[in-house]
Amino acid sequence: MQMIGEEDFKNMGLPHTKQFLNDISQEDKELFLAVYSLYRKLFLNYLLKKTKIKEYDDGLLSSDLKFLKVPVADMDIYQYISHENLGYLYLRNNLYVERLTTEETQFFHDKLRTGNEALDEESEKIIGTTISRVIFEDVMKDGNTYKTNYGPLAQSFMAPNNALVIGIRFDEFNLNGHDPSTWGNLHVEQLKYVFALSDKIEKELTEILGMPAVVIKYDEYSIKKKTVNTKPLSQ
């Protein structure tokens, strides 16, 4: 499991959690980041098991439209965390694991202590019952549903604050040996494919998971690159 570093974590859009981290000891901070990293890993594995997200990702890889993967060094932290399982799609939500109950938090502490990172039956149950609470962006601090941005301040990056948000990104502006005019035509077809696929994913994830789902396309101009290397939790 990749442990998310403090600097990368602080580059995510979690102002309340950032302050929370500043107010706790270094030992508690490391434990919190370990819980966050484990929860995120199990959440992704939950999505891989429950939905067709891997199938859709494989479809991008095998497409005749030749979608290039983003180099690891150019990924943001959200895509980086998912890249060992998915090449193009990734979990884009911020996760507020401080909202877990004492019992739920202890469950993850126990998993960390025993080195059990598997999505076992109990983990699956806890992830399934806590997702909506952990991903909720309480933008107005009133528990109500609004649209908020998951990236730059533009309409294309807006989604309900209770939605599961899936990012999609490929190495969009790489000519890959094409001349500009040929690449331009290919790029148009790639975008058509991506937007049609996004609609399909949104509908199916909403139906399967029983919550709003939104797919947002990112590129190199709408992300913050990972700033420091993550490190394995156990070495």
Q: What is the pLDDT of residue 7?
A: 83
String of DSSP letters for 206-233:
HHHHSS-EEEEE--TTSS-B--S--EES
pLDDT (tens digit per residue) in 64-89: 999 999 999 999 999 999 999 999 99
Average pLDDT over residues 9-27: 76
Which of the two residues, 225 and 211, has the higher pLDDT score?
A: 211
As a whole number of angstroms, the distance between CA 159 and CA 165 comes to 8
Give the lowest-confidence range in 20-29, 146-155, 226-235.
226-235
Q: What is the pLDDT of residue 6?
A: 84
Is 60 exceeded by the pLDDT of residue 234?
no
**Percentage of the chain lying above the pLDDT 70 cut:** 94
Q: How far is CA 185 from CA 41, 67, 98, 190, 220, in A?
A: 37, 14, 47, 9, 20
Average pLDDT over residues 136-149: 94
pLDDT (tens digit per residue) in 174-218: 998 899 989 999 999 999 999 999 999 999 999 999 999 999 999
Q: How confident is the model at residue 13 (pLDDT cuts 50, 70, 90)?
A: low
pTM more than 0.85: yes
String of DSSP letters for 137-181:
--TTSSS---EEESSSSSGGGEEETTSEEEEE---TT--TT--HH
Q: What is the pLDDT of residue 232?
A: 45
Q: How confident is the model at residue 230 (pLDDT cuts 50, 70, 90)?
A: very low
